[in-house]
Chain A
Amino acid sequence: MSEPLLRMEHITKRFPGVLALDDVSFEVAPGEAHGLLGENGAGKSTLLKILSGAYAPDAGAIEFDGRPIALETPLAAQQSGIVTIYQEFNLIPTMTVAENMFLCREPGRGQFISWKRMVRATAEQLAHLGLSIDPLAPVSDLSVGEQQMVEIARALSMRSRLIVMDEPTAALSEQEVERLFRIIADLKARKISIIFVTHRLNEVMRICDRVTVLRDGRRVGSGSVGPLGIDDFVKLMVGRSQHQLFTRLGDERSPGRVVLRVEGLSRSRDPVNPHATVLSDISFDVRAGEILGIAGLMGAGRTEVARSIFGADPRDSGTISVDGSPVVIRSPIDAIRRGIGLVPEDRKQQALFLELAVRHNLAISSLKQLSWAKWFVSDRAEDELVERYRKVLDIRMASADTKIADLSGGNQQKVVLARWLALQPKVLIVDEPTRGIDVAAKAEVHQQLDALARSGIAIIAISSELPEILAISDRIITIREGRITGNVQRDNAQEETLMHLMAVDAAPQPVA
């Protein structure tokens, strides 16, 4: 290999309680497309943020073009020639393409911008990539793919030599993906290097020259595409990591009748929220006393499925039946009335009222049952409710009046669980039930979910951690790019087969 363009050596980054990157080294050659792979939480994002100057590494060295550099700020990284293109673009939607291209480095004299030069340079840069985008169009009028092209054009106009792309194809149509790949090929020919972070292994095979795989913050393998194939990547990504070993639960569960049936659930591209995954023809059912795992990588549409069933997001078509009869669900209120609960993915943003006490957080959904004279909340009934679930779920808190923000993540999550249990739901959807809580608390949540299933609730558990899915589910469906790609009984499921179903086009072998 020729002299590398980028060399990262022994990079370590620690966050409170987590070793996000542990002695990671890797190199990128000039004109190379380098795939960066790993499951969620493997450390890809941290590495990206270090490269973009958002984080400083705790230890390690970075060399760029043979010289050591310090990427202290995003500006410093850009000036060194490293540009990162995030999934959520860094464009200002209300400004024109030209203004975005030259933000903070507008051509002109002193405070005065030369629009003429700016527009001409923008048009040149876009033409260079074979794009016909009006430099004076506001960015909000562009499609997601076009916005990405503008980002690439901007990177090139800054004479970048390394472009880091985070999941660049996640929100693109097929044609847009093709165009992106043509442009990447062109960039490679111009000796510009690309770091390509993706979950889509097919794309890695098509576009990348070499690959580095991260797992649990460590580099577990690097190599050239060709000698290494999809199966090798899957093996490396999954691997075994000791702190993710969960006790397998639920062998003695015996699922009963079908409680929830979802048929033909679809959702097209949402112009308001283009990053939400398109769903096509999702159908499955869940039985009483069963835990159905939904496995999928980031952006596969797991959360969108949950939110559509719960009425939190709109859907275009599909029927939902509870206990055999179709139900109309247009809002969370409808879903709750039908006995469906959702523990959302993002606890702080979507579930908790951080300024309120535990009791108020726990009881918010069941106030009707706690009321006397129709309107008044009975403090005593509320106390009893909190006390009941404090015991059942072993919620550790100073008192019911403690602010929920003062609880640990695991105990907060138990309060959210209790909120739904108080309604005695038929179906409980838990989206990333153990995100951001410590290992011991994770195991506890798993046990609670098992106990709930055994009490007859149908549970849908969504998780990006395969060991977790395998530990708690009776049955697992895999989902990729908004489609169901597999439906596997746990006993037939292994991490590798699931990862194939989640990350690759076709299943390597027929799956029961």
Chain B
Amino acid sequence: MAQAEKATPVGTARRSGAGAIIPLLSRYAPAVCLVVLMIVFAILQPQFLSPRNLFNVMRQISIEGLIAIGMTFVILTAGIDLSVGSLVACAGLVAAMIAKGSTASSFSLSTEAQQGYGWFAAMAGAMLVGILGGTIQGAAITKLKVPPFVVTLGGLSVFRGLALMISSSGPISGFDESYRWWGQGSIGPVPVPAALFIGFAVLAFIVLRYTRYGRQVYAVGGNREAARLSGVNVQRVLFSVYAIIGFLSGLAGFVLSARLNSSEAVAGYGYELTVIASVVIGGTSLFGGIGSVFGTVIGSVLIGVLINGLVLMDVNPYVQQITIGLILVLVVAFDGFAKSRRLK
């Protein structure tokens, strides 16, 4: 927390009294909330802290977390992607079809004697589907100048429709062990999806912090006109973030099918809510230019812990959705409040 110490003197120098606590709080609010929440759950439900449960939480958040990493790039450019859940379903189904050879064997639960291809082809197929979906939307946004909200709202419908079409014969289930490993396996104690999540989070952190491309993402989101006049290829940056989130959605689709040992057209339903909520709760501004992958990881874990805690306490499952929605709005409201205090 060296950064916190460095930031404090500046913060207190310019503001005094009780006012100083608010900007600090707003910077670390997600982390503070997470810790408080974990303490509360640990007291109410001792089994919450069991390693088994914690790894379970990690496995649960990782799939949406992967997409949230991509969503961080998109939101940093002041964009949005609502199509992620539908793209997850498409990618998962394509992966399953590759793994099983065709949809004909979709009712076979046997893991033997498949004429399909291995997990690698399935995973590559899913990624390809994701990249394709992302780049088509990116092209619509940059070339046709349609706002991201509209393009990806269209994508949400189109990709879900495609998923329903290609899986007309129902869910495709039963994969071999090496395929399932990507969703159900572990590396040491760490679930594979969690390892992927962490790996891509680190990669994204490096890209955003240490590369030219990362700088340009922040610049485009922070002030698009200034970025253009500074020689940043704005259209290319915008296009690329949709390709990135497409790729990660595709990967997430594959991992989800591996975890559930099944791909179906309704997979990933409603993911956009959790994913956008994770990013925004993590402190990334919907207006672009402000935010970090670190915040997104915290936001993802926060939502995961919240849901897990509610499940452990036997709360009506529908309350989860209500809670996420409320928290999302409250966080943004608080952020606006903190900002107005900063400007005073």
Q: Which A residues lie at the B interface, using CB under 8 A?
A: 310, 312, 331-333, 336, 342, 344, 349-356, 360, 363-365, 367-368, 371, 375-377, 379, 398, 419
Contact = CB atoms under 8 A, between A and B. Distances in A.
Interface in B191-243: 210-213, 215-216, 218-219, 222-223, 225-233
A332 B226 contact: no
Contacts of B227: 353, 364
Contacts of B211: 375-377
Contacts of A355: 222, 289-290
A449 B120 CA distance: 60
Given A376-B210, A376-B211, A364 B219 contact: yes
Interface string B227-268: 111111100000000000000000000000000000000000
Contacts of A331: 228
A312 B210 contact: no
Which of A342, A351, A355, A377 has its CB near the most chain B CB atoms (within 10 A)? A355
The 9 closest A-B pairs by CB, nearest first: A353-B222, A367-B212, A336-B231, A375-B211, A365-B230, A364-B230, A355-B289, A365-B231, A353-B223
B108 to A, nearest CB: 46
Given A352-B223, A355-B290, A371 B231 contact: no
Contacts of B216: 364, 367
B109 to A, nearest CB: 46
Nearest to A351: B226
A470 B233 CA distance: 37
B226 A356 contact: no
Contacts of A367: 212, 215-216
A31 B226 CA distance: 47
Interface in B1-55: 10
Contacts of B219: 353, 356, 360, 364
Given A364-B219, A364-B230, A375-B212, 14 more contacts: A310-B229, A336-B231, A342-B229, A352-B226, A353-B222, A353-B226, A355-B290, A363-B215, A364-B227, A365-B231, A368-B212, A376-B211, A376-B212, A398-B10
B212 A354 contact: no
Contacts of A353: 218-219, 222-223, 226-227, 289
Interface of B: 10, 210-213, 215-216, 218-219, 222-223, 225-233, 289-290
B162 to A, nearest CB: 34
Contacts of B229: 310, 312, 332, 342, 344, 350-351
Contacts, number: 73
Contacts of A354: 222-223
Nearest to B289: A355
Which of B215, B225, B289 has its CB near the most chain A CB atoms (within 10 A)? B215
A349 B210 CA distance: 26
Contacts of A350: 223, 225-226, 229
B218 A360 contact: yes
A419 B215 contact: no
A351 B219 CA distance: 11
A375 B209 CA distance: 11
Contacts of B290: 355
B27 to A, nearest CB: 13
A349 B229 CA distance: 11
A271 to B, nearest CB: 16
A369 to B, nearest CB: 10
8 contacts: A333-B231, A350-B225, A351-B226, A352-B223, A364-B227, A368-B212, A375-B211, A376-B212
A312 B222 contact: no
B3 to A, nearest CB: 10
Nearest to B235: A331
Contacts of B222: 353-356
A342 B230 CA distance: 8
B237 to A, nearest CB: 12
A336 B230 CA distance: 8
A296 to B, nearest CB: 21
A360 B231 contact: no
Which of A342, A349, A356, A364 has its CB near the most chain B CB atoms (within 10 A)? A364
A375 B216 CA distance: 12
Contacts of A342: 229
Contacts of A336: 231
Contacts of A371: 212
Nearest to A398: B10
A318 B159 CA distance: 47
Which of A332, A342, A371 has its CB near the most chain B CB atoms (within 10 A)? A332
A380 to B, nearest CB: 12
